[in-house]
Structure 1
Amino acid sequence: MWDAVIYRGAFALSFVPGLIGMMGMLRPEATLKMVQFPVPVDPPTKKLALSLIRLHGARNIVISYLFINNAMTGDKKLMGMGLIGTLFMLATDGFVSKSLIGGNEWMHWGHIPVYVALIGGLLYSDSSFQSHQGALSPTVELLLFWMVYALDFIFSHDNQRLAKETRKLIEAEELF
């Protein structure tokens, strides 16, 4: 039963990049505002930013199309392996958001655990339970290792930055 729920959930999430991509293609300025990126006022800069959002939208539509094609085959392993790319896309989008606007990265990173759960469920389906007798498949183990490593890097880097800023405020006597 969980096999079907996970498959259908992953199939439904395959449409999300395409929907965001269509919004980026049709309404690039609204897409920039939705993700809280600054909309440039200088005409050449604005034209460049809107063009880049349209390219980003086209990328999302193609990715969604590929995910849906993977899902239509009915092969859960293929679908799970395809969705692994989503993790890197979400992580990269979060880092770009953090570097450009100084925050809002969790708008992207917050979806990663959902995709990890679905990918794990797809790669480790009911038939795998019988053959592995409770052990995780090597792909899922590797995926979990990299997720823990990435989260550790993110939080330790963020905590170091916060500690430096706090020290500066204390030295400037602005904190207390």
Structure 2
Amino acid sequence: MAISTSWPVHLLGIAFGLIFIGFGCYDIVNPEAGLSFFEFTPSLFPSTAAETSSLLVVIGIRDIFMGVAILATLNADQRNVAGWLLIAGSAVAFTDGIVCYSHGKGAEWNHWGYAPLLTVTGGLLLGWADGKAKSVDVKAKSQ
């Protein structure tokens, strides 16, 4: 059995989708605590509690969307799409780490440590470790 179609890799994808949804719900329900993942305190950014809540709802919905998209594609057995979504999610995590790094309080590794795990899982779903290149025979598909 190819690694890309193995159930442990599928379960890893599901776990990451659920983690995104969990972080998104947490940000929406508890915005002040959600800001702590980015090294912000409500007194520093944004300027009012309403702005803080609004910002974290946007971040929360982003995370929920990513999680649902990953889960939906895995449920539809679209492993290639799920793989690319996980790799895109790693870019989001890396960028979140850059935001934390710009504040210089050390939480960037909470994001940067997570990003490679997403990339590897996405790559496994894409078949990078299957030992053979996936190719498309265009001529065969057109007949």
State the TM-score, normalized to the length of structure 2: 0.78
Which residue pairs with 1:113 in the alignment?
Answer: 116
Unpaired segments ≥5 residues, structure 1: 139-176
Work out the CA distance in 2 between the residues paired with 1:8 and 1:43: 37
2:23 to 10, 20, 23: 20
Q: For residue 43 of structure 2, give the secondary structure of its aligned residue in structure 1.
A: coil
Q: Which structure has the bigger radius of gyration? A: 1
- TM-aligned CA deviation for residue 5 of structure 1: 0.9
Superposition RMSD in Å = 2.6
Within a 5 Å distance, the mapping from 1:5-154 to structure 2 comes to: 5-40=8-43, 44-124=47-127, 128-129=130-131, 131-132=132-133
Give the % identical residues: 25
CA contact (8 A) 2:24 2:61 kept: yes
Cα distance 1:125–1:41, how it changes in 2: closer, same or farther (>3 A)? closer
Moved over 4 A (4+): 41-44
* Contact residue 40 and residue 49 of structure 1 kept, 8 A: no
Structure 1: distance between partners of 2:104 and 2:62: 22
Structure 2 residues without counterparts, runs of 5 or longer: 136-143
Number of residue pairs matched by the alignment: 132
Q: Which has the higher helix share?
A: 1
* Higher RCO (C-alpha under 8 Å, 6+ residues apart): 2
